[in-house]
Amino acid sequence: MSGRILVTPRSITKEGHPALAKLESAGFEWVSCAKGRQPTEEELLELLPGCVGYFAGVEPVSARVLQSASDLKVISRNGVGVSSIDLGAAKRQGIRVLTTPGANARGVAELTFAHMLALARGLCFGDRSLKAGGWDREKGFELQDRQLGLVGCGAIGRIVSELAIAFGMRVRAYDLYPDPNFHPQGFDYAPLDEVLADSDVISFHCPPPADGKPLVDEAFLAKVKPGALLVNTARGELLDENAVLAALDSGQIFGLGLDAHRGEPPSDRSLLEHPRVLATAHIGGFTTESVDRAVTGAVDNLLLALGE
């Protein structure tokens, strides 16, 4: 086997990974973009032509980019999200799009729960106050006997459910394709409106709607239990940021945990800078273990597809 493979995930271009040696051993040359940041469309237009494989991060991959890559046979993602890729264009050009389901599920689930705990106990507010020389306290609440609502309950949502049940929470989940084999004590599936109306914490583990409109808009937020916490470790495009800001200001939602953003880094920082928002820089799958599983899986997918 031979050919060139483009590698763009930020963690890999910045730090490298031993699994890339498999590509070299198989006879491939791999190239990368600028270290530690997403490539722009213009950079992809320069780098991707001539590549037979593409180890992609979360950067947008447009039809224009794919049309320039006449030799490209496969795109491999070190995760499950493919909403940033023009799948229609890939299909028309016969380019396979492969993912690594479950590789980063544990990392994202644990970060989700970290956001829940931090928001429930006001950790971000207390930290800012102390560092500014103050001694402000805000009464929090305990998670035991509270209800967690999940919008989407795939591999990540199921781990979040198990963590929540271990904390003594009840879990209700809305999913388009509920898993009949997942039914731990303290968990059930329910219609979306019921999940929103009854839950003290709502966490998102789903892709954005296919029509491109935000799922969490003014109408959605009006159905949420007043004073609930929201946690989004899935996709920034799920949120109408203006509607969420208004709900934070009115108290309709008490706080927001945010690890996925529109544009990374985001150009509009209004939501990030709200005092009731705890924000992280898309670190859900950025653990040693999750990265190892995802990179190894993505490399293996490339080698398998290019060897066929």
- Catalytic residue numbers read 235, 264, 282
- Alpha carbon distance 20, 29 (integer Å): 10
Q: Judge whether 49 and 70 are in contact, CB under 8 Å.
A: yes
Half-sphere CA count of 282, side-chain side, radius 13 A? 19
Q: Tell me the C-alpha distance between 68 and 49, whole Å.
A: 6
Side-by-side strand order, sheet with 147-151: 187-189, 170-174, 147-151, 201-204, 228-232, 253-258, 277-279
* Structural contact between residues 18 and 65, judged by C-beta atoms closer than 8 angstroms: no
Those residues with Cβ within 8 angstroms of residue 8's Cβ, 6 or more apart along the chain or in another chain: 32, 33, 38, 39, 44, 54, 55, 56, 57, 59
